[in-house]
Amino acid sequence: MIHVPEDTVGAFLGAPSVLVAGSSDGPLAGRTLAVKDVLDVAGVVTGAGNPAYAAAHLPATANADAVDALAVAGATVVGKTITDELAYSLSGTNVHYGTPTNPAAPGRIPGGSSAGSVAAVAAGLVDLALGTDTGGSIRVPASYCGVYGWRPTHGAVSTQGMAHLAPSFDTVGLFARDAGLLRDAATVLLDGAGGSERQPAGRHGVRDVVLFEDLVELAPADVRAAVVAVADTLVGGAAEWQSVACDVSDASLAFRILQGREAWALHGPWIEAAHPEFGPGIAERFAIASRVDPAAVEPANGLRAEVRRAVVEATAGGRVLLSPAAAGPAPEIHTDPERAAATRLATLTLMCIAGLAGAPVVVLPLARIEGLPIGVAAMGAPGSDRALLDWAAASA
């Protein structure tokens, strides 16, 4: 029997109910799954967090590839979850549908844009949840809510059936409270969700774990100390540090240029025609995206290639780079707007390297600061998802 949860944290769009029944004999049989409302579930409108967007779309005629793969493996979909509008935020606050409660830190934001998915997992309402990550939308919520999160290598998991934000950065990944379950569900997606970048079944394991100096040093002192302590525990001594041959500040700007350019190219015509009502942060981001200088795109793409080369070199031979999964614990819901914007930029800067490199990240909920969760982001080489997930499960 599948338990349909009561939504005690405002994570779902409407009351949870069985939307897709999972197979009775797969490796995930009996598990429950929530799906972020940027991924198609047959018979349900994909609203992407905005009522005008929802009104402009008919119910999906088929499941997203990732939903299908997990259902075939046994997971039962029990609802669609709240997302920031068009997935263009890291906060998890939605002016139309509300802000899901952060079960690990009530009164603080859950992180976004996969807010409902992470809240449903953190509250124990579901076993697994699908989220998406373009600039941190799995990694940041996982950090704020104290759960495991996986952002895959670009192209390793199909994004078919997704309402995109910036297609060359968009990924479909997962949340779970248990690292072994995260690995098992992620393996289903890597094996069967039609990704364009197939990964071999045989793989090298993780052989070395070090601190990502360029990112750790950007963090506030308390975050830095918490991440270093986790790293030392994982390696059983004083963890080594490694620098990566790229300028993080320049990389952050390049990421924002390329993400904004893609987001406006995809959604700009509809925004200009439909004039949808957006929350303040979303509206401002799309306004900035509309003004991206085309002449800045080619240099940004050049820097993207440089970052990927640097990350591939730094993670060669099974090396994993550890860094903070956010610039600090979850901010309070009513944080001053200027402070919230500064936190978002600091966190996006931490997130941008994996985004530019197309590298996989597993967030480990192993650190706390004054009782609040702070995730440790473990980044591997592009294509090393299986080894990274195996290592995370063994390290839990």
Active-site pick, 89, 113, 117, 323: 113
Catalytic annotation on 24? no
Angle, CA 183 vertex, CA 182 and CA 188 arms, to 5°: 100
Catalytic annotation on 36? yes
- The side-by-side arrangement of strands in the sheet containing 148-151 is 76-81, 32-36, 128-133, 171-176, 148-151, 361-369, 372-379, 319-324, 208-212, 241-242
Catalytic annotation on 168? no
Active-site pick, 89, 114, 137, 158: 137
What residues act catalytically? 36, 113, 137
